[in-house]
Amino acid sequence: MDALVDDLRAALTPDRVLVSPLALELYARDASIIRGRAEVVCFPLTTEEVQACVRVARRHGRPFVPRGSGTGLAGGAVPVGDPVVIVTTKMTRIVEVNADERYAWVEPGVLNLDLTHHVAHLGLHYAPDPSSQQSCTIGGNVATNSGGPHCLAYGVTSAHVLAIEVVLADGSVALLGGLDAEPAGYDLRGAFVGSEGTMGIATRIAVRLTPVPPAVRTLLLDFGTVADGAATVTAIIAAGIVPAALEMMDAAITRAVEEFVHAGFPADAACVLLVELDGLPAGVEADAEAVAAVGRAHGARTVRVAADETERALLWKGRKSAFGAIARIAPNYYLHDAVVPRTKLVEVLATVYAIAAEHDLVMMNVFHAGDGNLHPLIVFDKREPGVLERVEAAGAAIMKACVAAGGVLSGEHGIGLEKRDYMPLIFSADDLDAQARLRDAFDPDGMANPTKVLPSGSRCGDLQHVPEGAWI
């Protein structure tokens, strides 16, 4: 290992190559509840330094794991196989902004929200807005194809990435996609977005910038039952209205959020909907009236419209602080991610609560209701004997229930290690084989973020199995 570290320090600088027990412990996990083991952690500043890190790792026969801020929730950045962890958080330059053509070239360590702040004076913003947007990086968003509340109308990360400069697994550099409306050749950009570091490391990214809408209305509706709130979600979309965002929080998380941010969320509600509409003023006003009417028809107790930007920002602070707010309840949480048809929200939510009760766990729900992207949130204290086993069992049951309802494994967190072994639930052997062949085209030796996304036996002829839990 000394030779590996020496070579990395020669390629970078000694202070940007870490092997201390504290550093290796910190970078042994992401924001999931899965833990791995890093061999060495390095911090490149340029594309050439990323190349150097990859080439050193390969020369020493070590795999490598790309990592951003570590906010991922599916174990995608958890190091497996004593790899070199290549952290891109020091690559923070916004290289170019073209306001006329509405795009920006950024390095992977640029924080999501920082990009929006940087272009706000131009009347533009970066539309994908994960709840962790104050701390997650654009590179990490590309890796997992992140979503966010406003992706209901604007689309997830893949809809906003035009081109990517990538260091491949052999240390070479490739440009995927382009700024033209129809770049020539295969859509390798589309293949790379969401590949979770298994096809290389993004070092520059061209992203689409979106005009700030001329009018915005944010509504808060509260209900006496979760079923009424879920039914309202379906009814809003059925009425032909596609909000910019349509979020739902149940009673437990609403109380926690209100105690944390004091935004005026009704603490006695069974659930609340946060609905945001944007566009031209007349259309926004008409849609706001229609949403209010649909809500009242489905049992909404009150409909509150944010009076100004300050109140709107406070409501969104509550929604996006939900995962921090639960620290008042317990020190640990497991946040799931699956997508179900909107028409199945009521029955799936009932099943999720039943699973929590069966395993004697505290369960909350805060999620992107408009596109059926559920985020069941299990709150626990890992020091309690046997609780992790119950959490894992409940997570497995939730995933299988969502798939059984016609859902898919992930809406925005990715597959990583967490859901890797559930892939055969929705993909055939031929599907998995095709995905494995595509991955091999980028990384034939399997050294880029190994063991992630695809389960063992993904190639045709290999043995496949689905265990009770997708955990290591």
Mean pLDDT of 403-411: 95
User: Could you tell me the fold of the domain covering 330-472?
Assistant: Alpha-Beta Plaits (3.30.70)
CB 221, CB 70: distance < 8 Å? no
pLDDT of 350: 92
CB 451, CB 80: distance < 8 Å? yes
Per CATH, the number for 94-211 is: 3.30.465.10
Alpha-carbon distance 42 to 89, whole Å?
10
| CB count in 10 Å sphere of residue 241 | 18
User: Rounded to 5 degrees, what angle do the CA atoms 52, 58, 64 make?
Assistant: 80
Reported CATH class of domain 2-87? alpha beta
Architecture of domain 215-324: 2-Layer Sandwich (3.30)
Q: How many helices (H) and strands (E) does the chain have?
A: 15, 20
pLDDT-derived band of residue 460, with 50, 70 and 90 as boundaries?
low
pLDDT of 470: 37
pTM: 0.93
Q: Are strands 17-18 and 40-42 parallel, antiparallel or unpaired?
A: antiparallel
Q: Which residues on adjacent β-strands are paired with residue 378?
A: 334, 363
Considering the chain, tell me which residue range(s) the CATH 3.30.465.10 domain(s) occupy: 94-211
Write phi, then psi, for 352 (nearest 5 degrees): -60, -45
Q: Which residues contact 90 (CB under 8 A, 6 or more apart)?
A: 16, 43, 44, 45, 109
Considering the chain, tell me which residue range(s) the CATH 3.30.70.2740 domain(s) occupy: 330-472
Residue 86's nearest CA partner among 59, 114, 106, 62 is 62
Whether the pLDDT of residue 463 is over 50: the answer is no
CA distances from 321 to 71, 259, 260, 267 (A): 14, 11, 8, 16
| N- to C-terminal Cα separation, the chain | 25
- Helix/strand/coil (H/E/C) assignment for every residue in 161-174: EEEEEEECCCCCEE
The tens digit of pLDDT for each residue in 71-127 reads 999 999 999 989 999 999 999 999 999 999 999 999 999 999 999 999 999 999 999
The tens digit of pLDDT for each residue in 170-180 reads 999 999 999 98
Considering the chain, tell me which residue range(s) the CATH 3.30.70.2190 domain(s) occupy: 215-324
The tens digit of pLDDT for each residue in 56-84 reads 999 999 999 999 999 999 999 999 989 99
Considering the chain, tell me which residue range(s) the CATH 3.30.43.10 domain(s) occupy: 2-87
| CB count in 10 Å sphere of residue 245 | 23
Structure tokens at 456: 């063992």
